[in-house]
């Protein structure tokens, strides 16, 4: 798995919208925040297109912009503007030969999960589950989120995932494991089963996160993964932010209790409360990179091989 080259100061960032659109005003703010960081910016022309009320253009337009940004020799890194919905419509239009020939930093989360699976599993490219331009960088780009992001994309040798100060990692099942990290948004991972980008978990460490769903859906999607055999041959499991999960009938029964029951007979190490997902602070994870998780030391360390 190839870790992409660093993003140097003054480099060019291509911003894309593979899922839902933003406004013209927000587009200007996104360009400015990156320019203020010292980067040149290239912008896909579909960021403000509204297709169907929730997509930034049809699937072909969004997929082709991903191809163009990877193919453009001036673009050093590709940042997704936001998540949302509809990204799965775009995957069939992505030219994986172009991605393989032009490995670059690719950043996003949430609905971008589909792209992570594609690029990790079919293009041999490490991608970054990290902050997006509109969702995180324009406002609320706190120092811990920012530091982790640049540490991850510009790492040398190793990169250690560290929660923000005062938020310790928690252990559900003890042990130590090494393997590439794969995963993302739980609903998208469940929906991937039976598709060409279905999550491959054999010998890998699975990362899961979700936002603003009832606990019944957490149970349904997690059991879908379990019943599909996705926990059978994995090396370990990392649970990220489960933000705004509700249980109106029994609030005391949380997603952690639910997942603990589902994973009770899964004999791999499990760590939880990773601050990565849809929270206020988002610590970057290099998907596809080899990682060693150790519950005794409560460490998560990635190898960086460029």
The tens digit of pLDDT for each residue in 125-175 reads 999 999 999 999 998 899 999 999 999 999 999 999 999 999 999 999 999
Q: Calculate what percentage of the chain has a pLDDT beyond 90.
A: 95
Residues 59, 173, single domain; the answer is no
Q: Catalytic one among 20, 192, 275, 278? A: 278
Mean confidence (pLDDT) of the chain: 96
The tens digit of pLDDT for each residue in 9-48 reads 999 999 999 999 999 999 999 999 999 999 999 999 999 9
Residue 174, pLDDT score: 98
Q: Catalytic one among 20, 110, 135, 192? A: 110
Our answer to whether residue 261 is catalytic in this structure is no
Domain that holds residue 258: 159-303
Strands 12-16 and 77-80: parallel
Residues 173, 112, single domain; the answer is no
Note if the pTM is more than 0.95.
Answer: yes
Our answer to whether residue 260 is catalytic in this structure is no
Per DSSP, the three-state class of 287 is: strand
Residues 205, 298, single domain; the answer is yes
Compute the distance between CA of residue 286 and CA of residue 10 in angstroms, rounded to an integer.
23
Residues 171, 281, single domain; the answer is yes
Report if residue 43 sits inside a domain: yes
Whether the per-residue pLDDT at 110 is higher than 90: the answer is yes
Domain boundary, last residue among 107, 141, 175: 141
Q: Do residues 282 and 136 lie in contact, with contact meaning Cβ atoms separated by under 8 Å? A: yes
Report if residue 121 sits inside a domain: yes
Domain boundary, last residue among 141, 167, 200: 141
Residue 306, pLDDT score: 83
Residues 47, 125, single domain; the answer is yes
Q: Do residues 180 and 1 lie in contact, with contact meaning Cβ atoms separated by under 8 Å? A: yes
Report if residue 286 sits inside a domain: yes
Our answer to whether residue 135 is catalytic in this structure is no
Report if residue 57 sits inside a domain: yes
Q: Catalytic one among 27, 192, 209, 276? A: 209
Residue 125, pLDDT score: 98
Which CATH number is 273's domain given?
3.50.30.60
Residues 170, 85, single domain; the answer is no
Residues 183, 127, single domain; the answer is no
Residue 55, pLDDT score: 86
Compute the distance between CA of residue 284 and CA of residue 290 in angstroms, rounded to an integer.
14
Domain count, the chain: 2
């Amino acid at each position: 798995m190839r870790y992409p080259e660093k993003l140097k100061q003054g480099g060019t960032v291509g911003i894309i919208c593979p899922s839902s659109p933003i406004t013209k005003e927000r587009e200007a703010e996104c360009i400015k925040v990156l320019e203020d960081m010292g980067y040149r910016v290239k912008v896909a022309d579909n960021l403000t297109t509204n297709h169907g009320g929730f997509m930034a253009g049809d699937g072909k337009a969004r997929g082709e912009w991903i191809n163009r940004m990877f193919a453009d020799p001036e673009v050093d890194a590709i940042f997704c503007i936001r998540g949302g919905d509809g990204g799965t419509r775009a995957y069939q239009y992505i030219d994986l030969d172009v991605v393989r020939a032009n490995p670059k930093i690719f950043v996003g989360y949430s609905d971008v999960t589909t792209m992570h699976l594609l690029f990790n599993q079919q293009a041999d490219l490490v991608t970054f589950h990290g902050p997006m331009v509109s969702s995180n960088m324009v406002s609320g780009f706190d120092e811990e989120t920012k530091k982790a992001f640049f540490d991850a994309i510009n790492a040398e040798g190793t990169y250690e995932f560290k929660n923000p100060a005062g938020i310790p990692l928690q252990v559900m099942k003890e042990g130590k494991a090494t393997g590439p990290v794969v995963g993302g948004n739980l609903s998208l991972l469940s929906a991937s089963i039976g598709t060409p980008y279905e999550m491959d978990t054999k010998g890998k460490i699975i990362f899961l996160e979700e936002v603003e769903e009832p606990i019944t859906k957490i149970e349904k999607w997690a059991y879908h993964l379990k019943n599909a055999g996705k926990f059978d041959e994995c090396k370990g499991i990392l649970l990220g932010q489960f933000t705004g999960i509700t249980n109106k009938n029994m609030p005391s029964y949380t997603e952690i209790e639910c997942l603990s029951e589902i994973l009770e007979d899964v004999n791999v190490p499990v760590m939880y409360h990773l601050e990565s997902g849809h929270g206020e602070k988002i610590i970057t994870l290099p998907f596809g990179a080899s990682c060693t998780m150790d519950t005794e030391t409560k460490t998560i360390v990635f190898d960086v091989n460029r």
